[in-house]
A and B are shown apart, each in its own frame.
Chain A
């Protein structure tokens, strides 16, 4: 259950070279939305577009391929994508909304669909929800401290950031690589991440992330009927290259291990909240 319900899991990457040029991994999110937009499966998608400070994402409703491409790449800081979920169905006039988000944002989305207390007309207009794997996130100022102080790279000159193999890595435009052990970044983590019990976006239609697949490829879980429908059409139309997940290294074992580690660790912090004070505890959203 640490990997959630899914119908299939596969290693994949986009067939479109332009998308892969600046994608974080296999370009799955951008490619799948681009396909869905072309096919009319969605008429827009909420993605993390460029913001007003370097590496600070700003949620946008992308209705063109160019806007989707502008959102490629992981920004390791908060992009409150759910803030546009209602507006996408209002002034943007979308009937078939796509949204990408972290596991918590997929949770927020499904709660909004099942308990739409302040979300009139949102539940039926969600056409494709793509979740991305997420171990934790950083406030913008935390990311700044990691990149500028620990990695000694100016935010403006960073070309790509990546967390993997126990390291936080920053690649600069001129080709330098700066790496620090992930341990040094722990204190900058967003506190709200420490009660999160989802690693691989269990509630998305399709979820994807780097872990489990080789560099340049992504691990993809296809979870819902809707997700399966869109994904299989995209595969048939030749939008993705795929490999059997069993044939790639490190494969599903590592995904399972990291998911288990995250959930076990955070379950402990959820439990510890119950007795955080003296005869008093902190609130538990799950009960």
Chain B
């Protein structure tokens, strides 16, 4: 393997002038004509921070296939991701995609989540574990060889979280949408900034709502509130099929529920922001356009 080119390190911090050390030789490995003629200006910096997660959230990001390459080509530099790049320590980031919850008995984890907050403009709790604890809610220690590793909390219990993307795994397209919208928010025109802010608002509201999730949310905050109309979206969203529809209402097998937060977040009666969703056609076209999938 060749050493990766050190561009990200050079580019990332705005306060340091981008200057290549004279003794560094860069070996061009791509075809010259396929390489960007000039680097795309104003990319945002994105990091993937892996706490106590399973990497499934990162796989979901990668599951955007060429969409991810488009994002990395035009909109974002991946400045940190232990799975994919050799940057060892958490750098400054515009957006931190954090997956996994935090083990309170693991000092490194606790330090890293704090560093993430200090160094990222926008912290995204990516997936059910970071957002709500998910399966790590059931942890209780007692396993070799760290039997004392027993307490796990969603990242929002230790730091302020700006945006959450619930579910286990979170849909590839929702991560893509958040990345595109974050780019528009930080680098777009005024109109794009407005759209991005409106798009992200419900995901920011979910972050403020709390760090607990369960199939029970459908009872507490939808059915008990007189809002359920039996559309069945919750049943479709549940990754473990813990929800069935009986006489037009969700019936939740709570021993099967892994507490990922998908059902409530996907329910059209949790949040339904007309200002954004009424424009579904234009927004989906805009995202397709940003992904290079223009008209037919």
Do residues B229 and A193 form an inter-chain contact, with CB atoms below 8 A? Answer: yes
Q: Mark A264-287, 1 if CB is under 8 A from B, else 0.
A: 000000000000000000110110
Inter-chain contact total with CB atoms closer than 8 Å: 163
A203 touches B280 (CB 8 A): yes
Q: Are B277 and A192 in contact (CB under 8 A)?
A: no
Indicate whether B5 reaches chain A with its CB closer than 8 angstroms. Answer: no
Task: Enumerate B128-149 residues with CB–CB distance to A below 8 Å.
Answer: none
Flag if B248 contacts A140 (CB, 8 Å): yes
Please, what's the 1-or-0 string for A76-90, where 1 marks a CB less than 8 Å from any CB in chain B?
A: 011111111111000
Q: Report A190 CB to chain B, min CB distance, Å.
A: 6
B60 lies within 8 A of A104 (CB): no
Q: Out of A77, A86, A104, A123, which one reaches B231, CB within 8 Å? A: A104
B225 touches A283 (CB 8 A): yes
Q: Are A285 and B270 in contact (CB under 8 A)?
A: yes
- A190–B273 contact, CB under 8 A? no
Q: Does A116 contact B (CB under 8 A)?
A: yes
Residues of B within 8 A of A121 (CB): 171-173
Of B22-30, B69-77, B116-124, B232-240, the segment with at least 4 beta carbons within 8 Å of chain A is B232-240
Contact call A107/B174, Cβ cutoff below 8 A: no
Q: How far is the CA of A192 from the CA of B170 in the complex (A)?
A: 28
Q: Give B264-284 as 1s and 0s: 1 = Cβ < 8 Å from A's Cβ atoms.
A: 011111111110111011011
In whole angstroms, how far apart are the Cα atoms of A77 and B245 in the complex? Answer: 13
Complex Cα distance A14/B40, Å? 53
Among A86, A102, A224, point to the contact of B237 (Cβ < 8 A): A86
Contact call A78/B248, Cβ cutoff below 8 A? yes
A102–B203 Cα distance when bound, in Å, is 26
Q: Is A105 an interface residue (CB 8 A)?
A: yes
- Verify if A60 is at the interface (C-beta below 8 Å from B): no
- Which residues of chain B are near A81, meaning CB under 8 Å? 231-232
B45 within 8 A of partner (CB)? no
A112 interface hit (Cβ, 8 Å): yes
Contact B229 A283 (CB under 8 A): no
**Would you call B174 and A85 a contact (CB within 8 A)?**
no
The interface-forming segment of B31-39, B103-111, B161-169, B185-193 is B161-169
Evaluate contact between A83 and B235: CB separation under 8 angstroms.
Answer: yes
- In the complex, how many angstroms separate the beta carbon of B272 from the nearest chain A beta carbon? 5
Confirm or deny: B227 has a beta carbon within 8 angstroms of a beta carbon on chain A: yes
- Chain B residues contacting A5 (CB-CB under 8 Å) are 278
Q: Say yes or no: A203-B278 contact (C-beta < 8 A), given A192-B230, A192-B269, A196-B229.
A: yes
In the assembled complex, how far is the CB of residue A281 from the closest CB belonging to chain B, in whole angstroms?
Answer: 10
CA distance A140 to B247 in the complex (A): 6
Interface string of A110-127 (1 = CB under 8 A from B): 111111111111111000
- B interface list, Cβ under 8 A from A: 60, 63, 165-167, 169-174, 177, 199, 202-203, 221, 225-233, 235-239, 245, 247-248, 260, 262-263, 265-274, 276-278, 280-281, 283-284
A-B contact pairs, 13 of them (CB 8 A): A81-B231, A112-B233, A112-B237, A115-B174, A117-B237, A117-B266, A118-B238, A120-B169, A121-B172, A121-B173, A123-B173, A195-B269, A225-B281
A interface residue numbers (CB < 8 A to B) = 5, 59, 77-87, 101-102, 104-105, 107-108, 110-124, 137, 139-141, 190-197, 202-203, 224-225, 282-283, 285-286
The 8 closest A-B pairs by CB, nearest first: A80-B232, A78-B248, A83-B232, A118-B262, A192-B229, A118-B237, A78-B230, A118-B167
